[in-house]
């Protein structure tokens, strides 16, 4: 205003005007990043994110649901392969990221949690898939999950301080 910087403002009001004044405005350029995911998983953050010109948008994370894997990630129409995350270059235009998933066979994973020779009911068992699955063991110590083929960790937390938690590798 009148040659003096006023910082970032959304409005300015002239009061007691008795002479000519000059006001100049510079607008920041913003761009939209539109993220979408098909059936079988999710992308974070989803939807439209507004970023300032020259800034680097957040890294986009991709997670699959049980029974699916990433088929392709299209960034501005160009296939990036079956990535599970993507970071854009500094923003110079509107951008898109679209994820497609494809189904994979699902298998049953089951077992029993034992404390010595006794079943441990009420233990928390977590299959560490891209979206972790958590169940509580039954009275006989039994548990079950469904999972796509792969290598996973199974975390067991007894719910009883007398027994330490344990992580066991599992091939599905």
pLDDT at position 163 is: 66
Question: Which residue has tokens 């958590």?
Answer: 134
102 burial type by CB count under 10 A (0-12 exposed, 13-18 middle, 19+ buried)? middle
Higher pLDDT, 9 or 158: 9
pLDDT at position 159 is: 67
- The model carries a pTM of 0.60
pLDDT at position 170 is: 67
Give tens-digit pLDDT for 64-86: 988 889 999 999 999 999 999 99
Give tens-digit pLDDT for 8-53: 777 888 888 888 888 888 778 999 999 999 999 999 999 999 999 9
Cα–Cα dist 28/35, whole Å? 22
CA angle 163, 118, 121 (to 5 degrees): 65
Nearest to 80 by CA among 96, 56, 58, 63: 96
Neighbours of 98 (CB within 10 A): 16
Three-class HEC string of the chain: CCCCCCCCCCCCCCCCCCCCCCCCCCCCCEEEEEEEECCCEEEECCEEEEEECCCCCCCEEEEECCCEEEEEEEECCEECCCCCEECCCCCCCCEEEEEEEEECCEEEEEEECEECCEECCCCEEEECCCCCEEEECCCCCEEEEEEECCEEEEEEECCCCCCCCEEEEEEC
């Amino acid at each position: 205003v009148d040659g003096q910087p006023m910082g970032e403002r959304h409005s300015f009001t002239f009061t007691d005007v008795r002479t000519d004044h000059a006001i100049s405005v510079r607008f920041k350029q913003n761009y939209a990043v539109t993220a979408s995911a098909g059936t079988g998983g999710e992308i974070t953050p989803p939807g439209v994110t507004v970023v300032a010109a020259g800034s680097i948008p957040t890294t986009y994370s991709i997670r699959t649901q049980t029974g699916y894997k990433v088929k392709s990630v299209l960034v501005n129409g160009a296939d990036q392969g079956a990535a599970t995350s993507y970071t854009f270059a500094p923003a110079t235009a509107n951008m898109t990221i679209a994820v497609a998933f494809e189904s994979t066979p699902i298998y049953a994973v089951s077992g029993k949690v034992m404390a010595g020779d006794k079943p441990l009911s009420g233990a928390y068992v977590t299959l560490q898939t891209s979206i972790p699955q958590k169940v509580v063991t039954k009275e006989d110590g039994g548990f079950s999950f469904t999972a796509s083929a792969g290598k996973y960790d199974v975390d067991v937390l007894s719910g009883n301080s007398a027994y330490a938690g344990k992580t066991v590798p599992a091939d599905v």
